[in-house]
Chains A and B, each alone.
Chain A
C-alpha cells in the first residue's frame, strides 16, 4: 500500500516561533498535495494545498515547500500562535486516490 510518511508525530513550539512539519511520499502518481488542520472533536479542514507545477505556496503565515524530485513537501507555520494548536495532516491525491499522513500534533505555548 502506498504510504505517506509524516514527521514529527508531535511538536511543541513557543509562541512566535516557526513550526515545521514534513511529509514524504513514495511515487509520482499524485497531482495535489494538501495540508489539513484538525481541532479536537472536529473534522479535518483544508489549510493550504499545492499542485506539483510550483515549488512553494504561501498563504498568510502558512507556507508549503514542495520538492518534486525528492518526493517531499513541508508545512511551515510562521509566528506560531496558541490558536494554531491542532493536529495537522499532509495528504497526497491522484485520480481516485487520497492518502493521508499519520498526523502531527502541534502545541504552541503561550
Chain B
C-alpha cells in the first residue's frame, strides 16, 4: 500500500516557467488537498477537493491551479513560477469527505524558483 505519492521530490524552475506537481493516492480517499510549508509559517492550505470534479480554494490559492478528474489523482499546477513560490509542497488525503479527520501526507516536493 503506497499511500500518498508525490512527484517530483525536487525541482528547480526559473521565474515564469510553469510546471505540475503530481499527487496520487491509492486509499480511495475522496478528500485531497495541497499545502505549502514555509519556515515559521506552518502548513498553509492551497487548494482542496472533496471528490472527482470538485475543487475549492484554500488560504493561499493565487498562482496555483488544480483539477480532479479521478479519485486517485490531484495535480497542482504552477502557472508562471515566482520566487515567492519557493517552498516545500505537501499533498494530503483523508478518508473523511469533509476533511475533519486524519490527513495522510506524501513525502513532499521541494521547489526552488530562481
Contact = CB atoms under 8 A, between A and B. Distances in A.
The majority secondary structure among interface residues of chain A is strand
B26 interface: no
B42 interface: yes
A43 B105 contact: yes
Given A43-B108, A96-B50, A96-B56, A89 B99 contact: no
A18 B45 CA distance: 31
Contacts, number: 61
Contacts of A36: 103
B108 A96 contact: no
Contacts of A9: 40
A79 interface: no
B101 interface: yes
B19 interface: no
Interface residues of B, number: 25
A101 B33 contact: no
A34 B102 contact: yes
A103 B42 contact: yes
Given A1-B59, A96-B56, A102-B41, A43 B102 contact: no
A89 B42 contact: yes
A26 interface: no
B89 to A, nearest CB: 10
Given A102-B41, A103-B42, A44 B105 contact: yes
10 contacts: A9-B40, A32-B100, A32-B101, A42-B107, A43-B90, A44-B103, A89-B43, A98-B45, A98-B100, A98-B103
Interface of A: 1, 4, 6, 9, 31-32, 34, 36, 41-46, 49, 89, 93-103
Given A94-B100, A96-B50, 4 more contacts: A43-B105, A89-B43, A95-B100, A96-B98
